[in-house]
Structure 1
């Protein structure tokens, strides 16, 4: 039961991180013009890998 809740919460966090990346895209593009980058891809990748590992069990 805890494994299912953990996997579900990772899935929700993964989906929210993707949505945040989409919403923050204009800000990220503007910041790139200034030479600064937002590391949202790291969050999405790490949550995606964690979800895949939890789902594989």
Structure 2
């Protein structure tokens, strides 16, 4: 039961990270033009790795 809740929570977090990444796209483009990048891709990769590791 707990593993099911854990996987569901990770899935929701993964989906939330995708939505945040999409909504922050204009900010990321402006930041890249200013000379630096936002590490959103690292957050998304870490959450995705945790989600896939939790799969049975």
The TM tier, using the shorter chain, reads over 0.9
User: Are 1:27 and 2:27 matched, yes or no?
Assistant: yes
TM-score (norm 1): 0.94
Counterparts of 1:36 and 1:44, CA distance in 2: 18
Task: List gaps (5 residues or longer) in structure 2.
Answer: none
Q: How far, CA to CA, are the matches of 1:45 and 1:29 in structure 2?
A: 20
Q: Secondary structure at the match of 1:37?
A: coil
Whether 2:54 is the aligned partner of 1:54: answer yes
Cα shift readout 1:6-57 (whole Å, capped 9, x = no counterpart): 00000000000000000000000000011111100001001001000001x3
Counterpart-to-counterpart distance in 1, 2:2 and 2:22? 30
State the superposition RMSD in angstroms: 0.6
Q: Which runs of 5 or more residues in structure 1 are unaligned? A: none
Give the structure-2-normalised TM-score: 0.96
